[in-house]
Amino acid sequence: MPVYLDIATKLDREVREQYSVGEFLPSESSLAERFAVNRHTLRRAIDELVNTGLIQRHQGKGNRVMNQPDEYLVNADAKFTKNLIEQGARPRCEVIQSRIIVAPSQIAVELNIAQGAKIIHLRTLRKTEISPRTVIDHYLVDPGWWSIIKNYSHGSLHEFMKRGLGIELERKRTRVGAKEPTNEECSLLDIDKHTPILTIKTHNIIKGTDRVAEFSYSHSRSDTTEIVMEH
Protein backbone atom coordinates (compact mmCIF):
# COMPACT_ATOMS: atom_id res chain seq x y z
CA MET A 1 0.00 0.00 0.00
CA PRO A 2 1.37 3.48 -0.86
CA VAL A 3 2.54 5.42 2.19
CA TYR A 4 -0.04 8.20 1.73
CA LEU A 5 -2.92 5.68 1.68
CA ASP A 6 -1.62 4.05 4.86
CA ILE A 7 -1.55 7.48 6.54
CA ALA A 8 -5.03 8.29 5.22
CA THR A 9 -6.37 5.02 6.68
CA LYS A 10 -4.88 5.78 10.10
CA LEU A 11 -6.15 9.37 10.07
CA ASP A 12 -9.61 8.26 8.96
CA ARG A 13 -9.86 5.93 11.95
CA GLU A 14 -8.54 8.56 14.37
CA VAL A 15 -10.93 11.23 13.12
CA ARG A 16 -13.96 8.95 13.45
CA GLU A 17 -12.97 7.75 16.93
CA GLN A 18 -11.41 10.83 18.52
CA TYR A 19 -12.73 13.99 16.85
CA SER A 20 -16.07 15.78 16.91
CA VAL A 21 -17.72 17.57 14.01
CA GLY A 22 -16.28 21.08 13.69
CA GLU A 23 -12.91 20.29 15.26
CA PHE A 24 -9.70 21.02 13.35
CA LEU A 25 -6.96 18.48 12.76
CA PRO A 26 -3.38 19.32 13.79
CA SER A 27 -1.47 21.35 11.22
CA GLU A 28 -0.20 19.55 8.14
CA SER A 29 3.39 20.31 9.13
CA SER A 30 2.94 18.67 12.55
CA LEU A 31 1.22 15.66 10.98
CA ALA A 32 4.03 15.34 8.42
CA GLU A 33 6.54 15.36 11.27
CA ARG A 34 4.53 12.80 13.23
CA PHE A 35 4.37 10.36 10.30
CA ALA A 36 7.95 11.14 9.20
CA VAL A 37 6.97 12.07 5.65
CA ASN A 38 7.28 15.18 3.52
CA ARG A 39 4.44 17.71 3.18
CA HIS A 40 3.54 16.47 -0.32
CA THR A 41 2.90 12.93 0.92
CA LEU A 42 0.89 14.21 3.87
CA ARG A 43 -1.24 16.40 1.60
CA ARG A 44 -2.05 13.38 -0.58
CA ALA A 45 -3.26 11.58 2.54
CA ILE A 46 -5.39 14.58 3.52
CA ASP A 47 -6.75 14.70 -0.04
CA GLU A 48 -8.16 11.20 0.49
CA LEU A 49 -10.12 12.39 3.53
CA VAL A 50 -11.32 15.49 1.69
CA ASN A 51 -12.52 13.36 -1.23
CA THR A 52 -14.62 11.19 1.09
CA GLY A 53 -16.19 14.25 2.72
CA LEU A 54 -14.74 13.44 6.15
CA ILE A 55 -12.83 16.72 6.40
CA GLN A 56 -12.85 20.05 4.59
CA ARG A 57 -9.95 22.39 3.95
CA HIS A 58 -10.33 25.98 5.14
CA GLN A 59 -7.71 28.31 3.71
CA GLY A 60 -5.68 29.90 6.49
CA LYS A 61 -7.45 27.85 9.18
CA GLY A 62 -6.70 24.19 8.55
CA ASN A 63 -8.64 20.97 8.02
CA ARG A 64 -12.01 20.68 9.79
CA VAL A 65 -13.99 17.53 10.55
CA MET A 66 -17.29 17.43 8.69
CA ASN A 67 -20.60 15.67 9.12
CA GLN A 68 -21.09 12.70 6.85
CA PRO A 69 -23.20 13.44 3.76
CA ASP A 70 -26.95 13.74 4.17
CA GLU A 71 -29.11 11.68 1.85
CA TYR A 72 -31.47 13.76 -0.30
CA LEU A 73 -34.33 11.47 -1.32
CA VAL A 74 -36.06 12.15 -4.62
CA ASN A 75 -39.61 10.79 -4.72
CA ALA A 76 -43.14 12.18 -4.69
CA ASP A 77 -43.38 12.38 -0.90
CA ALA A 78 -39.81 13.48 -0.11
CA LYS A 79 -39.47 16.49 2.20
CA PHE A 80 -36.14 18.18 2.99
CA THR A 81 -36.69 18.58 6.75
CA LYS A 82 -38.31 15.17 7.16
CA ASN A 83 -35.41 13.48 5.32
CA LEU A 84 -32.85 14.97 7.69
CA ILE A 85 -34.82 14.17 10.85
CA GLU A 86 -35.16 10.53 9.75
CA GLN A 87 -31.36 10.38 9.39
CA GLY A 88 -30.92 11.53 12.98
CA ALA A 89 -29.90 15.09 12.13
CA ARG A 90 -31.17 18.25 13.83
CA PRO A 91 -32.10 20.52 10.91
CA ARG A 92 -32.55 24.25 11.36
CA CYS A 93 -34.00 26.78 8.96
CA GLU A 94 -33.15 30.47 8.69
CA VAL A 95 -35.37 32.68 6.52
CA ILE A 96 -33.04 35.02 4.66
CA GLN A 97 -35.66 36.73 2.51
CA SER A 98 -39.46 36.83 2.42
CA ARG A 99 -41.35 39.05 -0.04
CA ILE A 100 -43.89 39.46 -2.83
CA ILE A 101 -42.30 40.01 -6.24
CA VAL A 102 -43.18 40.17 -9.92
CA ALA A 103 -42.26 36.74 -11.23
CA PRO A 104 -39.08 36.76 -13.35
CA SER A 105 -39.86 35.49 -16.85
CA GLN A 106 -38.28 32.04 -16.36
CA ILE A 107 -39.98 31.55 -13.00
CA ALA A 108 -43.33 32.44 -14.58
CA VAL A 109 -42.72 29.68 -17.13
CA GLU A 110 -41.86 27.18 -14.38
CA LEU A 111 -45.04 28.07 -12.46
CA ASN A 112 -47.16 28.14 -15.63
CA ILE A 113 -48.46 31.65 -14.95
CA ALA A 114 -48.72 34.85 -16.96
CA GLN A 115 -45.68 37.06 -17.40
CA GLY A 116 -45.77 39.92 -14.92
CA ALA A 117 -47.86 38.04 -12.35
CA LYS A 118 -47.05 38.52 -8.68
CA ILE A 119 -45.77 35.62 -6.59
CA ILE A 120 -44.26 34.94 -3.16
CA HIS A 121 -40.49 34.48 -2.93
CA LEU A 122 -38.75 32.97 0.10
CA ARG A 123 -35.05 32.26 0.45
CA THR A 124 -34.07 29.88 3.24
CA LEU A 125 -30.77 28.60 4.58
CA ARG A 126 -30.90 25.04 5.90
CA LYS A 127 -28.37 23.81 8.45
CA THR A 128 -27.64 20.66 10.42
CA GLU A 129 -25.87 21.09 13.74
CA ILE A 130 -23.25 23.78 13.06
CA SER A 131 -22.97 23.28 9.30
CA PRO A 132 -24.87 25.13 6.55
CA ARG A 133 -26.05 22.65 3.93
CA THR A 134 -28.48 24.19 1.44
CA VAL A 135 -29.84 27.51 0.21
CA ILE A 136 -33.35 27.21 -1.24
CA ASP A 137 -35.31 29.74 -3.28
CA HIS A 138 -39.03 28.98 -2.97
CA TYR A 139 -41.43 30.56 -5.47
CA LEU A 140 -45.09 30.23 -4.45
CA VAL A 141 -47.73 30.81 -7.08
CA ASP A 142 -50.49 32.54 -5.08
CA PRO A 143 -49.81 35.98 -3.50
CA GLY A 144 -53.08 35.52 -1.61
CA TRP A 145 -51.18 33.17 0.70
CA TRP A 146 -48.96 36.02 1.88
CA SER A 147 -50.94 36.83 5.05
CA ILE A 148 -50.02 33.34 6.31
CA ILE A 149 -46.64 32.78 4.63
CA LYS A 150 -45.16 36.03 5.96
CA ASN A 151 -45.23 34.45 9.44
CA TYR A 152 -43.10 31.47 8.43
CA SER A 153 -39.80 31.51 10.32
CA HIS A 154 -38.55 27.95 10.92
CA GLY A 155 -39.18 24.25 10.39
CA SER A 156 -40.68 22.65 7.30
CA LEU A 157 -42.28 25.12 4.89
CA HIS A 158 -44.62 22.46 3.54
CA GLU A 159 -45.81 21.49 7.02
CA PHE A 160 -46.35 25.18 7.77
CA MET A 161 -48.46 25.53 4.60
CA LYS A 162 -50.43 22.42 5.48
CA ARG A 163 -51.28 23.78 8.94
CA GLY A 164 -51.86 27.39 7.95
CA LEU A 165 -53.40 27.08 4.49
CA GLY A 166 -54.77 23.54 4.44
CA ILE A 167 -52.63 22.82 1.38
CA GLU A 168 -50.62 19.62 0.98
CA LEU A 169 -47.86 19.58 -1.63
CA GLU A 170 -46.12 16.73 -3.42
CA ARG A 171 -43.30 16.55 -5.94
CA LYS A 172 -44.23 16.42 -9.60
CA ARG A 173 -40.84 16.79 -11.28
CA THR A 174 -37.22 17.16 -10.14
CA ARG A 175 -34.16 18.20 -12.15
CA VAL A 176 -30.67 17.70 -10.71
CA GLY A 177 -27.56 19.52 -11.91
CA ALA A 178 -24.29 21.06 -10.79
CA LYS A 179 -22.54 24.41 -11.03
CA GLU A 180 -19.75 26.53 -9.61
CA PRO A 181 -20.75 28.49 -6.48
CA THR A 182 -21.19 32.25 -6.54
CA ASN A 183 -19.42 34.43 -3.98
CA GLU A 184 -22.70 34.76 -2.06
CA GLU A 185 -23.19 30.98 -2.00
CA CYS A 186 -19.61 30.49 -0.78
CA SER A 187 -20.33 32.87 2.08
CA LEU A 188 -23.71 31.37 3.01
CA LEU A 189 -22.59 27.74 2.73
CA ASP A 190 -19.10 28.21 4.19
CA ILE A 191 -17.30 26.70 1.20
CA ASP A 192 -14.55 27.78 -1.17
CA LYS A 193 -14.85 28.38 -4.90
CA HIS A 194 -13.56 24.88 -5.66
CA THR A 195 -16.49 23.07 -4.02
CA PRO A 196 -19.20 22.40 -6.64
CA ILE A 197 -22.85 23.11 -5.90
CA LEU A 198 -25.58 20.53 -6.47
CA THR A 199 -28.67 22.19 -7.92
CA ILE A 200 -32.14 20.71 -7.52
CA LYS A 201 -35.10 22.27 -9.31
CA THR A 202 -38.46 20.97 -8.13
CA HIS A 203 -42.06 21.48 -9.19
CA ASN A 204 -44.47 20.82 -6.32
CA ILE A 205 -48.16 20.46 -7.01
CA ILE A 206 -51.20 20.63 -4.73
CA LYS A 207 -51.92 17.01 -3.86
CA GLY A 208 -54.81 15.58 -5.84
CA THR A 209 -54.48 18.20 -8.60
CA ASP A 210 -52.10 19.09 -11.43
CA ARG A 211 -51.72 22.67 -10.24
CA VAL A 212 -48.12 23.77 -9.67
CA ALA A 213 -48.07 25.58 -6.33
CA GLU A 214 -44.33 25.93 -5.83
CA PHE A 215 -41.15 25.95 -7.87
CA SER A 216 -38.07 25.55 -5.69
CA TYR A 217 -34.43 25.94 -6.66
CA SER A 218 -31.97 24.58 -4.11
CA HIS A 219 -28.20 25.00 -4.01
CA SER A 220 -26.57 22.30 -1.88
CA ARG A 221 -22.99 21.63 -0.85
CA SER A 222 -21.77 18.68 -2.90
CA ASP A 223 -19.44 17.58 -0.08
CA THR A 224 -22.30 17.05 2.37
CA THR A 225 -25.15 15.86 0.14
CA GLU A 226 -25.90 12.60 -1.68
CA ILE A 227 -28.84 12.36 -4.08
CA VAL A 228 -30.82 9.12 -3.66
CA MET A 229 -33.26 8.16 -6.43
CA GLU A 230 -35.94 5.71 -5.34
CA HIS A 231 -37.47 3.41 -7.96
Sequential pLDDT tens for the chain (231 residues): 789 999 999 999 998 889 887 889 999 999 999 999 999 999 999 999 888 778 888 878 889 887 665 665 665 555 555 455 454 556 688 999 999 999 999 999 999 999 999 999 999 999 876 678 899 999 999 999 999 999 999 988 999 999 999 999 999 999 999 999 999 999 999 888 888 999 999 999 999 999 999 999 999 988 777 777 766
Q: What pairs with residue 145 in β-bridges?
A: none
Tell me the H-state helices in 126-199. 146-149, 157-165, 183-189
Give the whole-angstrom CA distance, residue 83 versus residue 228: 11
pTM of structure = 0.70
Domain boundary among 24, 45, 65: 65
Domain boundary among 65, 86, 102: 65
58: containing domain:
3-65
Residue 151's CATH number? 3.40.1410.10
Of 20, 92, 96, 57, the closest CA to residue 195 belongs to 57
